[in-house]
Amino acid sequence: MEMPHSYARYIRQGRIRDVLGNSFELADSILGFLVSTSLFLAVSGVFKLYLAFLLYGTRPQWNLLAATFFLIFSVYGLNKLTDLDEDEINNPERTGYIKRVSGVFRHAVLVSFAVAVILGVLTSPWAAPVIIFPIFSGVLYSVSLIPGYPRLKDITGIKNVIIALTWANGTAFLPYLAAGAPELQRALMIYYFFFMKSMINTILFDVRDIEGDRANGIKTIPVKLGLRRSRNILIALNSTLVLWMLLAYSRGYFAGYMPVLVFSILNGYAYILYFARKRERPGKLLDVWVDGEWFYTLPLALFL
């Protein structure tokens, strides 16, 4: 007996929905793993460094890109291992991933430390301090070295500055060394751009984590100032990049990449206004849009 055409079509549509649903679940699971283990952030950091090479007008060095990958993975991996209590509230999915692979993850973090330092030393003696600085600051940031005293990450605003400095040091100075130490003013312009982008992003992640931080007594900027004033600060910080861009244009810097920089600044306004407001937790969207900015910014720069 032949199945009615409308019923057969209904069965096919149901199967298609099942396949699509399973595909989305698999993609979400893979993305969750990459974000939770900092692999997503490490690759994004490599793209970010690649863009810095372009802004210097020099050829990217693959050993420095690799060192950056291992460095970011190790530093942020250490932070995730020390933040399990806060993340039980802020990001239970991430905590679940880390706990399931904690043994392997610890060893991977240690090996990555070593590989990053070795690659830096083999590249240049001057690259070694740039690479070691994030490791040193990561330990100070995540661990209380003196009993009874808070970690640096527990001091309002200090942790944001340290994270921004750490990102800016590596992103601006590694290409600076590879470019043969070009004029200092260009280097300082590049440094400020990446420092401010990182400063904005780390405060935005504090906005996402406001509930867990408040429950654990961590006085972040959003916890201390509230959402509205934090949003105003973020908009003000991003607006300094408009003045930065005008100064860069007047000096003739980054002429071929001005559309990319304009896009990055406008993108900053967009995700500040979207995430710094009362709403449900953004989940992985914040990671993909903000931490993953360089996944879609670098291709635009390469196209130009």
Extents of the domains making up the chain: 13-303
**For helices 39-56 and 158-178, angle between their N-to-C axes, nearest 10 degrees:** 50
The pLDDT of residue 301: 93
Nearest 5°: the CA angle 170, 173, 177 is 130
Q: How far apart are CA 187 and CA 179, in angstroms?
A: 10
The closest alpha carbon to 251, from 194, 187, 208, belongs to 187
The tens place of each residue's pLDDT in the chain, 304 residues long, gives: 455 555 555 555 555 555 555 566 777 778 777 777 788 999 999 999 999 999 999 889 999 999 999 999 888 887 777 665 555 555 666 666 666 666 777 788 889 988 988 888 888 778 888 888 877 776 676 666 666 666 666 777 888 998 899 899 999 999 988 777 678 899 999 999 999 999 999 999 888 888 777 777 778 899 899 889 999 999 999 999 999 999 999 999 998 899 999 999 999 999 999 998 866 666 778 889 999 999 999 999 998 7
The pLDDT of residue 1: 47
> Which residues touch 115 (CB under 8 Å, ≥6 apart)?
67, 70
The pLDDT of residue 294: 96
Indicate the pTM of the whole model. Answer: 0.84
Burial class (CB in 10 A: 0-12, 13-18, 19+), 173: buried
Map tokens 């720069």 to a residue: 301
The pLDDT of residue 37: 76
**In the numeric block, which tokens belong to residue 147?**
């009993």
The pLDDT of residue 23: 65
